[in-house]
Amino acid sequence: MKTAHLFSYGTLQYKNVQLENYGRVLEGETDALSGYELLMIEITDPEVVKISGATHHPMLKYSGRSNDLVKGTVFELSAAELEQTDAYEVDDYKRVEVQLQSGKKAWVYISAAEPAEK
């Protein structure tokens, strides 16, 4: 089975969100991503709000500053679970591949209005 790494800094770390999206609790490792900063956005999709229990979710915005560090968790997902994650994330986010502080390459959701890591 082909797997992918996913870096989560927000609601995908919540057990209830994992159970709703994947039918299981994910095991992950602490990691971090430099060059991005966190901001909060309002979520208007009622299904996502219902699953997460929150009307505002964190979002990454590319800063390019190496001293900007966002901590989170890196999970291993199947290709089907990654597609399920795409369905969960609202259109304000896009998925890009980044290199984490640990050296692992992982997918992460950032602001759809921002460029990916340079």
- State the chain's maximal CA–CA distance in angstroms: 37
Q: Which amino acid is at 38?
A: L
pLDDT above 90: percentage of residues in the chain: 55
Confidence of residue 60 (pLDDT cuts 50, 70, 90): confident
Query: Mean pLDDT over residues 48-77, rounded?
Result: 87
What the chain holds in terms of domains, given with CATH numbers, is: 3-111 (3.10.490.10)
The rounded Cα 105 to chain-centroid distance in angstroms is: 13
Residue, of 57 and 62, whose pLDDT is higher: 62
Cβ distance 52 to 93 under 8 Å? no
Q: Say what the pLDDT of residue 47 is.
A: 82
Q: Say what the pLDDT of residue 85 is.
A: 92
Confidence of residue 118 (pLDDT cuts 50, 70, 90): very low
Confidence of residue 115 (pLDDT cuts 50, 70, 90): low
Query: Mean pLDDT over residues 18-32, rounded?
Result: 95
Tell whether the model's pLDDT for residue 50 goes beyond 70. Answer: yes
Tell whether the model's pLDDT for residue 41 goes beyond 80. Answer: no
Q: What share of the chain is helix, strand, coil (3-state, %, to 5)?
A: 25, 45, 35
Residue, of 45 and 80, whose pLDDT is higher: 80
Cβ distance 41 to 59 under 8 Å? yes
Q: Say what the pLDDT of residue 84 is.
A: 93
* Cα–Cα distance measured from residue 25 to residue 113, given in angstroms and rounded to the nearest whole number: 30
